[in-house]
Amino acid sequence: MKEKPQMTSVASGVARKKKVTPSAILMKVSMVLIIGVAVYWLGLNLTNDPKQFAQVTVNGLNNGLLYALIALGYTLVYGIIELINFAHGDLFMLGAVFSFSLLTEFLGATGPSAKNYALLLVVLLLTMLFCAFINVSIERLAYRRLRNAPRLAPLITAVGMSFVLQWIGLKWIGSNPVNVNTVLPSTDFEIAGIVIAVKTLIIFAVTVPLLIVLAFIVNKTRRGRAMRATAQDKDASRLMGIDVNQTITFTFAIAGAAAGAAGIMWAQTTGTVAYNLGFQLGLIAFTSAVLGGVGNLYGAVLGGIIIGLIQSYNDGLAIGPGQRWSQTMVFTILILLMVYRPGGLLGETAQEKV
């Protein structure tokens, strides 16, 4: 999605003769090693207990789709204004909190029923609107003014915004996690010995179409084209008559909506909401975005699923580092990616060297 015209990269590796440096070799070797170890680890567990493996895989996909939704927001925003919106994860949290407040508390929709399913859909839409609205507001009030400021300023502002949103969450539901009595049925069913919760199916049923719709919007609609053009070259887009401000607002709106959807689905399927939900998941989601290739919608989905799987494997498999190392693992992946392959899987490999 992001392909800068080569002439404008000052010290980029474009006109550079490809030198085979020792560090490049080291990197290739370590990548092979890491992948080898990962395959070995997974294979070990697969043969050890295939049922558990399949189960954990399903869980991973489950979480992965939610991560993908959140990652989408990060990747779209970064693609268009090159800003890591630190507050995005907390936006997701607010979506979860809002949906809890509205659906579970105010409307009292707990437990499965036709009426509650209908309410769920309504609240889903409302949550998406709510988060879109907040995201757009943040952009208008804070980020827009700093668009041309030195790099540090919008970054620090985003961090500050994250704190503000967390505070709102704190005030809204308190410092302790709250239980959400979901409207979704808690039943499971079995396929070939693997237990799949109905909730998981619902997640698939909601997120997959949502992702398809979002992909459609970004790739096929006029607005989506404007987004991609602006992400590539803001000045050129402006000259072509694209309203850059509006396009950026639109991007934030979509990102917010995706986060909101993820929020309500999270609340309804995991059953817990806490004010600091956003921080942890935000980093996981951003790692997913980077893994898939920042600025690339499909990359966000791919990255989300992979990270979801990795985390699930680490949490759930019998043989492995164990749950207490999951977070460290994800962060390590993030760091390795940033250093060695910031373009991720589907993005460009050119590193902007200092």
Partner 1 sequence: MSLDGRAVLDAQDIRVEFGGLVAVDDVSFTIPEGSIVSLIGPNGAGKTTFFNVLTGLYQPTSGAVIFDNVEITGDPVHDIASGGLARTFQNIRLFGLMTAQENVMVAMHSKMNAGVFATIFRTKKQRAEEAEARRFAQELLDYVGIGEVTNEYARNLSYGDQRRLEVARALALRPKVLLLDEPTAGMNPNESAAFVQFVRKLKADKGISILLIEHDMSVVMQVSERITVLDQGQKIAEGSPAEIKSNPRVIEAYLGKSGSEASK
Partner 2 sequence: MANTATASTAPAHTAVSGNRKWAIGFISAVAFFFILNKFLLPQATTPVQQFFNNWFSLTSMAEIMIWIVMALGLNIIVGYAGLLDLGYVAFWALGGYVAGWLMSPFFSSLQLNFFGNARPGFEFGIHFHVFLVLILGGVFTAIWGVIIGGPTLRLKSDYLALVTLGFGEIIPQFMLNGADIAGHNVTNGAQGIGGLDDVNLFGYVIGTFALPEKFLMVSLLAGAMIFFSIRLRDGRLGRAWLAIREDELAASMMGVPLWRTKFSSYAIGAVGGGIGGVGFAILVGGVYADRFNFVISIIILAMVVMGGMGNVWGVVVGATTLAWINSIGLVQVGDLVNNTFGTKINFPSYQFLLFGLLLVLMMLFRREGFIPEARIRMVMNEDKIGDEEKVSDETKIASN
Instruction: Catalog residues that contact partner 2 under the rule CB under 8 A.
Output: 7-10, 78, 82-84, 142, 145-146, 148-157, 159-167, 170-171, 175, 279, 283, 286, 324-325, 327-328, 331-332, 334-335, 338-340, 342, 351-354
Residue nearer to partner 1 on the CB measure, 35 or 236: 236
Nearer to partner 2, 152 or 191 (CB): 152
Do 92 and 259 touch, CB atoms closer than 8 A? yes
By residue count, the chain amounts to 354
Of the two residues 7 and 191, which places its CB atom closer to partner 1 in the complex? 7
Our finding on whether 20 is near partner 1 (CB under 8 A) is no
Point out which span in 13-21, 44-52, 100-108, 123-131 binds partner 1 (CB under 8 A): 13-21
Q: Which stretch binds partner 1 (CB under 8 A): 2-10, 20-28, 108-116, 212-220?
A: 2-10
CB of 284 to partner 2, least distance (A): 11
- Tell the smallest beta-carbon distance from residue 10 to partner 1 (Å): 7
Neighbouring C-alpha atoms within 13 Å toward the C-beta of 29 = 6
Closer to partner 1 at the Cβ: 7 or 20?
Answer: 7
7 binds partner 1 (CB under 8 A): yes
Residue 184 structure tokens: 């979704």
Structure tokens at 302: 């791919």
Minimum CB distance to partner 1, residue 352 (Å): 14
Kindly state whether residue 14 participates in binding partner 1, applying the rule CB under 8 A.
Answer: yes
Taking the least distance from each CB to partner 1, the nearer of 150 and 241 is: 150
Nearer of residues 119 and 153 to partner 1, judged by Cβ: 153
- Specify the residue, 328 or 349, whose C-beta has the smaller distance to partner 1: 349
Q: Tell me the closest approach of the beta carbon of residue 123 to partner 1, in angstroms.
A: 50
Contact stretch for partner 1 (CB under 8 A) within 3-11, 53-61, 169-177, 238-246: 3-11
The entry of partner 1, partner 2, none that residue 267 binds, CB within 5 to 8 Å by partner kind: none
- Interface residue with partner 1 among 1, 4, 19, 140 (CB under 8 A) is 19
Binding partner 1 by CB under 8 A: which of 2, 15, 240, 332? 15
Cβ-contact 68, 286 below 8 angstroms: no
The reply to whether 17 sits near partner 1 by the rule CB under 8 A is yes
Select from partner 2, partner 1, none the partner in contact with residue 239, using the beta carbon and a kind-dependent cut-off of 5 to 8 Å. Answer: none
For partner 1, the binding residue among 1, 2, 4, 6 (CB under 8 A) is 6
Centre a 10 Å sphere on the Cβ of residue 311 and count the other Cβ atoms it contains.
23
267, 78 in Cβ contact below 8 A?
Answer: no
Taking the complex as a whole, how short is the minimal distance between the CB of residue 232 and partner 1, in angstroms? Answer: 15
Q: Which does 342 bind (CB under 5 to 8 A by kind): partner 1, partner 2, none?
A: partner 2
Q: What is the 3-state secondary structure (H, E, C) of the chain?
A: CCCCCHHHCCCCCCCCCCCCCHHHHHHHHHHHHHHHHHHHHHHHHHHHCHHHHHHHHHHHHHHHHHHHHHHHHHHHHHHHHCCCCCCHHHHHHHHHHHHHHHHHHHCCCCCCCHHHHHHHHHHHHHHHHHHHHHHHHHHHHHHHHHCCCCCHHHHHHHHHHHHHHHHHHHHHHCCCCEECCCCCCCCEEEECCEEEEHHHHHHHHHHHHHHHHHHHHHHHCHHHHHHHHHHHCHHHHHHCCCCHHHHHHHHHHHHHHHHHHHHHHHHHHHCEECCCHHHHHHHHHHHHHHHHCCCCHHHHHHHHHHHHHHHHHHHHCCCCCCHHHHHHHHHHHHHHHHHHCCCCCCCCCCCCCC
Which residues of this protein are in contact with partner 1, per CB under 8 A?
Answer: 6-7, 10-11, 14-17, 19
